[in-house]
Amino acid sequence: MPHSQLLEPINNFLQCSTPEQWVEQAIKKENLSVILIDHLICELKAAQSAMFLIRKYAVDKESGDALLAWLKPFETLIYKREGDWRDLAAKNKLTKSIIPKSNSPYGQGLIDKMVLLIKEELHHFYQVLEIMDEYGVEYQSITPCRYAKGMLRHVKTFEPNALVDKLIVGAYIEARSCERFAKLAPHVDKRLGDFYISLLRSEARHYQDYLALAQEIANFDITERISEFGKIEAKLILSADEDFKFHSGTPA
Ligand SMILES: [Fe+2]
Ligand SMILES: [Fe+2]
């Protein structure tokens, strides 16, 4: 499938497209490091939040521990600055099968989708590290932008609505990332552009997985809730933003 076809449902799902002013900032040479570092962190966070969801809602303690052990070397690299990033490719594997806990209303379907998603996000994380190495971008810690927090504060506090909302937020983050990779690709050099295009396919599937899971878990029609989060998301993208990051708003 050509990527224009992948993007069509994404562009329909998102209530606005990325402002040109953001693209102009993002393709500047001096912003390459913030874009790459923030992208790197987004990949880790995508893996962490998917893992948090299955640990909280779906698996027994033993499976939860195996999941944590899988993520650990990736987190150690970022949070403790320990380990050689080149070793991480070989560490992206689960040593045990992950099974639903006995009283979980969420079954193997959610677990399998999320485990695949985590594996892909950790692979992307590794690929961003490779790119950073090639472009001579050194990792340094940066502050998170307002985007994810700006959506998560609208998440309901009771179940299953809280989980449904988190899955919808996950879908928006994936979809927006996908849209931005496609916007950036034609303006950056070939190596980076090809990498962004290679991410579209999996991120497009991730957004659909999140939505399908949200609808599966909800005992109500989620259409209305999707459009509420769509409005919140569009506002975060279109309104002026002092901060410049991968998911920031219109550069102020
Ligand atoms: Fe990713
Ligand atoms: Fe993703």
**DSSP notation for 34-54:** HHHHHHHHHHHHHHHHHHHHH
| Ligand 2 center from residue 202 Cα (angstroms) | 6
For residue 121, give every residue at least 6 positions away whose Cβ sits within 8 Å of its Cβ, in sequence order, or none.
Answer: 43, 44, 46, 47, 50
- State the total domains in the chain: 2
Mean pLDDT score, 74-98: 88
CATH code of the domain in which 207 resides: 1.20.1260.10
**Pair 86, 184 in one domain:** no
Whole-number pLDDT of residue 240: 98
Proximal ligand: closest to the CA of 207: 2
Whole-number pLDDT of residue 1: 63
143, 163, 197 - which closes a domain: 143
Tell me the whole-structure pTM to 2 decimals.
0.94
| Ligand 1 center from residue 21 Cα (angstroms) | 24
Query: Is position 1 within any domain?
Result: no
**Pair 131, 152 in one domain:** no
| Ligand 2 center from residue 121 Cα (angstroms) | 6
The conformational region for residue 81 under phi > 0 = left, psi -120 to 50 = alpha, else beta, is: left
Q: Are 167 and 210 in contact (CB under 8 A)?
A: yes
Q: How confident is the model at residue 58 (pLDDT cuts 50, 70, 90)?
A: confident
**Pair 190, 139 in one domain:** no
**Pair 111, 41 in one domain:** yes
**Pair 149, 131 in one domain:** no
Maximum alpha-carbon separation in the chain: 52
**Pair 235, 152 in one domain:** yes
**Pair 89, 181 in one domain:** no
Integer Cα distance of 250 and 242 in angstroms: 8
Query: Is position 160 within any domain?
Result: yes
Q: Residue 97 pLDDT > 90, yes or no?
A: no
Q: Which residue has the tokens 């809280």?
A: 162
Q: What is the DSSP string of 231-250?
A: HHHHHHHHSEESS-STT--E
**Pair 152, 223 in one domain:** yes
**Pair 95, 183 in one domain:** no
Query: Is position 93 within any domain?
Result: yes
**Pair 53, 99 in one domain:** yes
| Ligand 1 center from residue 46 Cα (angstroms) | 7
| Ligand 2 center from residue 242 Cα (angstroms) | 26
Q: Residue 216 pLDDT > 90, yes or no?
A: no
**Pair 123, 51 in one domain:** yes
| Ligand 1 center from residue 135 Cα (angstroms) | 20
Q: Which residue has the tokens 């769509």?
A: 230
229: containing domain: 145-241
Closest CA relative to residue 42, chosen from 228, 172, 138? 172
Integer Cα distance of 147 and 139 in angstroms: 21
| Ligand 1 center from residue 180 Cα (angstroms) | 12
Q: What is the pLDDT of residues 107-126, one digit of tens each?
A: 787 888 889 999 999 999 99
Whole-number pLDDT of residue 148: 96
Query: Is position 89 within any domain?
Result: yes
| Ligand 2 center from residue 45 Cα (angstroms) | 10
Closest CA relative to residue 246, chosen from 210, 237, 238? 237
| Ligand 1 center from residue 196 Cα (angstroms) | 10
Proximal ligand: closest to the CA of 121: 1
Q: Is the peptide bond before 160 cis (omega within 30 degrees of 0)?
A: yes
Integer Cα distance of 13 and 4 in angstroms: 14
| Ligand 1 center from residue 252 Cα (angstroms) | 27
